[in-house]
Chain A
Amino acid sequence: MIKTILIVAALLSVFWFPYPMTLILSFAASFFFPPVAFVVGLLSDLVYFVPGAYPVPLGVSLGLGLSLLAFVMRNVVRTRIMAA
Chain B
Amino acid sequence: MKTRYPRNRNHIFSARGVIVFALVVAVTLVMVFLRFVFPSTFSALTAPLLHVGSYVLAPAVSFEDAGRVAAERDRLKEENQTLHNEKEALLAQLREGEASQEDTRLFARVLSRPPVTPYDVLVLDVGSADGVSMGAAVFGQGVPVGIIAQVEEKTSRALLFSAAGGTNEGAVGESRLPITLRGEGAGAFSSDVPKEVPVTVGDSVFISPGASPLGTVVHIEESASAPQKTLVIRPFANPFMLTTVDIAL
Task: List A residues at the B interface (Cβ < 8 Å).
Answer: 12, 15-20, 22, 33, 35, 38-39, 42-44, 46-55, 58-59, 82
Write out the residue numbers on chain B whose beta carbons fall within 8 Å of the beta carbon of A59: 118
B121 near A53: Cβ-Cβ < 8 Å: yes
Contact A43 B31 (CB under 8 A): yes
Q: When the two chains form the complex, which single residue of B24, B119, B166 contacts A49, counting CB atoms closer than 8 Å?
A: B119
Q: Are A52 and B112 in contact (CB under 8 A)?
A: no
CB of B164 within 8 A of CB of A54, answer yes
* From A16, A39, A51, contact of B116 by CB (8 A): A16
Using a CB–CB distance below 8 Å, which chain B residues touch chain A? 5, 20-21, 24, 27-28, 31-32, 35, 42, 46, 49-50, 52-53, 56-57, 112, 115-121, 123, 149-150, 157, 159, 163-166
**What residues of chain B lie closer than 8 Å to A35, measured between beta carbons?**
21, 24
CB distance from B115 to the nearest CB of A (A): 4
Q: How far is the CA of A17 from the CA of B117 in the complex (A)?
A: 9
Does the CB pair B53–A47 fall under 8 Å?
Answer: no
Query: Of B53, B121, B165, which is within 8 A of A15 by CB?
Result: B53
Q: Are B115 and A19 in contact (CB under 8 A)?
A: yes
In the complex formed, the residue of B with least CB distance to A11 is B49
CA distance A39 to B26 in the complex (A): 11
Residue among A15, A35, A48, A52 facing the most chain B CB atoms (10 A cut-off): A15
- List 11 A-B pairs, Cβ < 8 Å: A15-B116, A16-B57, A46-B31, A47-B123, A48-B121, A48-B157, A52-B149, A52-B159, A53-B163, A54-B164, A82-B5
B149:A50 contact, CB within 8 angstroms: yes
Given contacts A16-B52, A50-B150, 8 further A-B contacts (CB under 8 A): A15-B49, A18-B115, A19-B117, A39-B27, A43-B31, A50-B119, A54-B119, A55-B165
- Measured in the bound complex, the distance between the Cα atoms of B120 and A58 in whole Å is 12
Our pick among A33, A38, A48 for the contact of B117 (Cβ within 8 Å) is: A48
Query: Which residues from chain B contact A52 at a C-beta distance below 8 Å?
Result: 149, 159, 163, 166
Q: Contacts of A38 on B, CB cut-off 8 Å?
A: 28
Take A15-B53, A15-B112, A35-B21 as given contacts and tell me if A54 and B163 are in contact as well, using a CB distance cutoff of 8 Å.
yes
Partner of A50, one of B42, B157, B164: B157
CA distance A43 to B49 in the complex (A): 13
Rounded to whole Å, the gap between the CB of A60 and the closest CB of chain B is 10
Let me know if A39 and B46 touch, CB within 8 A. no
In the complex, residue of chain B having the shortest beta-carbon distance to the beta carbon of A35: B24
Chain A residues whose C-beta falls within 8 Å of the C-beta of B116 in the assembled complex: 15-19
Min CB distance A43 to B, Å, is 6
Q: Which residues of A contact B112 (CB under 8 A)?
A: 15, 47-48
- State A53–B28 Cα separation when bound (angstroms): 22
Residue of A nearest to B157 (CB): A50
Query: Distance (Å) between the CB of B133 and the closest chain A CB?
Result: 15
Question: Across the interface, do B149 and A48 meet the contact criterion of CB distance under 8 Å?
Answer: no
- What B residues does A33 contact at CB under 8 A? 20
**Are B28 and A48 neighbours in the complex by a CB distance under 8 Å?**
no
Of A46, A48, A55, the contact of B123 (CB 8 Å cutoff): A48
- On chain A, the residues within 8 Å of B49 by CB distance are 12, 15-16
